[in-house]
């Protein structure tokens, strides 16, 4: 149950009027409580939840900090134990892409490219739970690379539709928002 606390608090942050929605502090947990629990997976789960919140709330500073924690501070005995690896790959790829666009740091572009390649490999092997995430990253990459507007629109539309069909309404909403930002 301990590892569910960051998700629970993230949902509370998403659905309530929280002063700082990327801080996991509230009725379900506090970051201090989880950090001091001695369970290596707890830190990774907290970083992942904070990365997702940073993506939803466009907090680039929190996004960069927690992407780097997930990439470079992950304890070796935790690797591969996450049940939501497809969501993690998408979040890391999406965050890396956004950070690379903002900072022009090549290492983040490389990370985004690696995450896309891994999701493509998984999709090719039949993992249906990563397909809509992959389509979203393809749309983001096309927008970033300044592909023709009609192509970018088509890619966003396909990603939104696939997210809805897969039951990932939160991803569909986020991709809708990203498409709107592209057209502004």
pLDDT in tens, 1-31: 788 899 999 999 999 998 999 999 999 999 9
Q: Which residue is it, tokens 């690696």?
A: 114
Q: Closest by alpha carbon to 73, among 103, 94, 50, 90?
A: 50
Q: Closest by alpha carbon to 59, among 12, 102, 22?
A: 22
Residues 99-111: tens digit of each pLDDT: 999 999 999 999 9
Which pLDDT score, from 0 to 100, does residue 82 have?
61
Q: Closest by alpha carbon to 100, among 74, 63, 127, 47?
A: 63
Q: Closest by alpha carbon to 51, among 115, 106, 1, 110?
A: 115
Q: Which residue is it, tokens 């966003």?
A: 156
In terms of C-beta density within 10 A (0-12 exposed, 13-18 middle, 19 or more buried), how is residue 44 classed?
buried
Residues 26-78: tens digit of each pLDDT: 999 999 988 888 887 888 889 999 999 999 999 999 999 999 999 998 776 65
How many Cβ atoms are within 10 Å of 33's Cβ, its own excluded? 14
Judge contact between 3 and 41, C-beta under 8 A. Answer: yes
Q: How many CA atoms lie within 13 A of 155 on its CB side?
A: 21
């Amino acid at each position: 149950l301990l590892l569910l606390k960051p998700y629970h608090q993230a949902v509370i942050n998403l659905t309530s009027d929280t002063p700082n929605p990327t801080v996991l502090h509230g009725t379900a947990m506090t970051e201090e409580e989880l950090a001091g629990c001695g369970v290596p997976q707890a830190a990774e789960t907290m970083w992942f939840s904070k990365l997702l919140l940073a993506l939803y709330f466009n907090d680039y500073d929190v996004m960069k900090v927690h992407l780097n924690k997930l990439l470079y501070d992950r304890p070796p005995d935790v690797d591969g134990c996450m049940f939501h690896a497809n969501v993690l790959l998408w979040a890391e790829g999406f965050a890396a892409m956004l950070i690379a666009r903002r900072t022009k740091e090549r290492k983040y572009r490389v990370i985004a490219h690696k995450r896309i390649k891994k999701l493509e490999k998984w999709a090719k092997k039949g993992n249906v739970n990563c397909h809509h995430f992959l389509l979203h990253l393809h749309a983001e990459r096309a927008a970033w690379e300044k592909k023709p507007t009609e192509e970018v629109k088509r890619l966003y539309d396909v990603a939104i539709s696939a997210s809805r069909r897969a039951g990932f309404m939160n991803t569909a909403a986020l991709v809708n928002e990203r498409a709107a930002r592209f057209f502004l």
